[in-house]
Chain A
């Protein structure tokens, strides 16, 4: 039976360039001299380091603990010695550094003790904690911690679980090769996810330019005997692999602005994520390696199973880079970002290392003025009006850009691809987004500072008032005490004088002063040094001599205030 498929708006058809890297099977990579494993690899909080320089770690040992509400653990990719826990350049356009664990492999590649989990007998919360500590994150590119997505939602079940094997971006074939070679294992991961999400049906969306993958997955489904799981070939059209676009194609549901797909009973995962969930549950192996496509300006494009933390140049060397190579791009030509160097590590987000040269990716022609042709709006798969957002981003009118739903932009690059004026639209949108985020952060911290300032003022006022009240109460108490004493004493001493019911102002003051002085005298007597009381006569004589000298000397320090 043929399933009815839907179309998403826009999209483009760039040259796919996928056949080059699918001729050879997945290869392994020899151990590099050192692995640089950034602790912050996924969306969410920064994991905290659990090892110190000099420690010996085993393959699969946790080196970064999940920190905070949304965070995912990081593991040693091989056994070896931790050389350093330091800042290292991360695979990010900015070229900034991040806290990384640098491991020198010992060559043994020895696993630590692995703990398997039976997902059917484990409570869901424990299972999610297990996946968090296994470092399983979305391998489609967004690296969102998977455990946070494996919740069935309010209704306790999901209608459709969409598995994303579309892989629409040119050059990248790692999901394709995974489905060809490891379909049955991947399917076991999908079955586990389906169980956790209580999903009625599972749809595996694969672009129809990968017939081998479709056949392989379909064969695996048939062999497993599972029902309600279907591998669906979908038309090849970039960006069919975007979560919202794939959901639209397979189910016809359009997720509107400000809503999530789970509101409509749909959740979407990448095929690579399904495979790593299988690895974690079935073998207890955390996410320490992934499939990476090496393509572009190399003589033998191919897919490799790469340990997280392997330097990219170590990996690319296996594929034979051509001499005019001048850049690595992480990801594909549409959405990929240029790396700040050649030795940056492969991380969980690295699906492809695209090797580039000036000849292969020539600099874009100069930007021309926007002619409002509307091609970008026709191509936008998110139904946005990129040319409007471009005006406002260019003029830094961020409020207006947001009104045109800038944050629904998935940065797929279709608009820049079709623009006849060669405007780098996505660059403008990325600029606007990060500018807006930074302003929001600033506003938040300003609001926090205002609240703290106002509270400090309030607290100071309150303390002043409390102090005044305390003083007044004390003064009143003393006055009363003096009044009662003063009323009794003169009457007893002098019988002729009439007893005063109330002391006059001056007398009261004097009495207060006297009371205070009396109190001070008593206190002084109490705190007088006691260690000179019982001394040998010679020591006592010494002290007497010193006291005499001190009395003779002018009292210099008399006016020094107390510290």
Chain B
């Protein structure tokens, strides 16, 4: 009996070293659900810190406005928690948008470049800045630092490439 216990103990001990999990898989899973806008509206400096906080039970799952209701539902599913409506203090769900710099007003101060969490703004000191629309996550972090308020958010319009077929509407009464 003692022999078996020792052998099994050794096997378990070996396994725990051999198959040690790098990082926290739960954080990875949560991070995959989060929209990666890196906007900080949740109160954490980026999506991964928020994911870590959720995994540690330090944050609620309803603090991410860009993820919206769908994101909260997915998190609730993953973590086995109750669904909660989006917390109002963290903001409201908005349509996806991109930042646009008004070229006539931009003074080339580079403050927005420093604020952009995903390096989506191109420019240099005293040169006109511009936003790479394809990389912009719509986090709005560049709005506040701009000293001349030349950045506006524009909702993304549908193009033929992003157009989606609508959910079939069932007509109860034939028209």
User: Do A453 and B162 form a contact, CB below 8 Å, given A366-B171, A424-B168, A447-B36?
Assistant: no
Determine the chain A residues whose CB is within 8 A of the CB of B100 once the complex forms.
none
Contact assessment for A96 and B165 in the assembled complex, using a CB-CB cutoff below 8 Å:
no
Interface membership of B20, Cβ < 8 A: no
Interface membership of B166, Cβ < 8 A: yes
Determine the chain B residues whose CB is within 8 A of the CB of A361 once the complex forms.
none
Determine which of A96, A98, A431, A452 lies in contact with B167 in the assembled complex, contact meaning CB atoms within 8 Å. A431
Contact assessment for B135 and A448 in the assembled complex, using a CB-CB cutoff below 8 Å:
yes
Contact assessment for A431 and B164 in the assembled complex, using a CB-CB cutoff below 8 Å:
yes
Contact assessment for A453 and B38 in the assembled complex, using a CB-CB cutoff below 8 Å:
yes
CA distance A441 to B119 in the complex (A): 20
Tell me how many residues of A have a C-beta within 8 Å of chain B.
32
Main secondary structure of the interface of A (DSSP, over half): helix
Interface membership of B137, Cβ < 8 A: yes
Least Cβ distance of B97 to chain A in Å? 13
Determine the chain B residues whose CB is within 8 A of the CB of A427 once the complex forms.
165, 168
User: Do A456 and B168 form a contact, CB below 8 Å, given A365-B174, A366-B174?
Assistant: no
List residues 132-175 of chain B with CB under 8 A from any CB of chain A.
134-135, 137, 158-160, 162-168, 170-175
Contact assessment for A94 and B160 in the assembled complex, using a CB-CB cutoff below 8 Å:
yes
Interface membership of A450, Cβ < 8 A: yes
List residues 5-48 of chain B with CB under 8 A from any CB of chain A.
31, 34-38, 46-48
Contact assessment for B164 and A453 in the assembled complex, using a CB-CB cutoff below 8 Å:
no
Contact assessment for B47 and A450 in the assembled complex, using a CB-CB cutoff below 8 Å:
yes
Contact assessment for A366 and B172 in the assembled complex, using a CB-CB cutoff below 8 Å:
yes
CA distance A445 to B120 in the complex (A): 12
Inter-chain contact total with CB atoms closer than 8 Å? 76
Least Cβ distance of B116 to chain A in Å? 8
Determine the chain B residues whose CB is within 8 A of the CB of A452 once the complex forms.
118-120, 135
Determine which of A92, A428, A453 lies in contact with B46 in the assembled complex, contact meaning CB atoms within 8 Å. A453
Determine the chain B residues whose CB is within 8 A of the CB of A96 once the complex forms.
158-160, 163
Interface membership of A531, Cβ < 8 A: no
CA distance A92 to B171 in the complex (A): 23
List residues 425-443 of chain A with CB under 8 A from any CB of chain B.
427-428, 430-431, 433-435, 438, 441-442
CA distance A366 to B137 in the complex (A): 42
User: Do A40 and B160 form a contact, CB below 8 Å, given A366-B174, A446-B36?
Assistant: yes
Most buried by A among B118, B165, B174, B175: B165
Residues on A facing B (Cβ under 8 Å): 40, 90, 92-94, 96, 98, 363, 365-367, 424, 427-428, 430-431, 433-435, 438, 441-442, 445-450, 452-453, 455-456
Instruction: Show 15 residue pairs from A and B whose CB-CB distance is below 8 angstroms, ordered by the A residue.
Output: A94-B160, A94-B163, A98-B160, A366-B170, A366-B173, A428-B168, A430-B165, A431-B165, A434-B165, A438-B164, A442-B35, A446-B36, A449-B118, A453-B36, A453-B117
Residues on B facing A (Cβ under 8 Å): 31, 34-38, 46-48, 117-120, 134-135, 137, 158-160, 162-168, 170-175
Known contacts A446-B36, A449-B118; 10 further A-B pairs (Cβ under 8 A): A366-B171, A427-B165, A433-B165, A438-B164, A442-B35, A445-B134, A445-B137, A450-B36, A453-B117, A455-B119
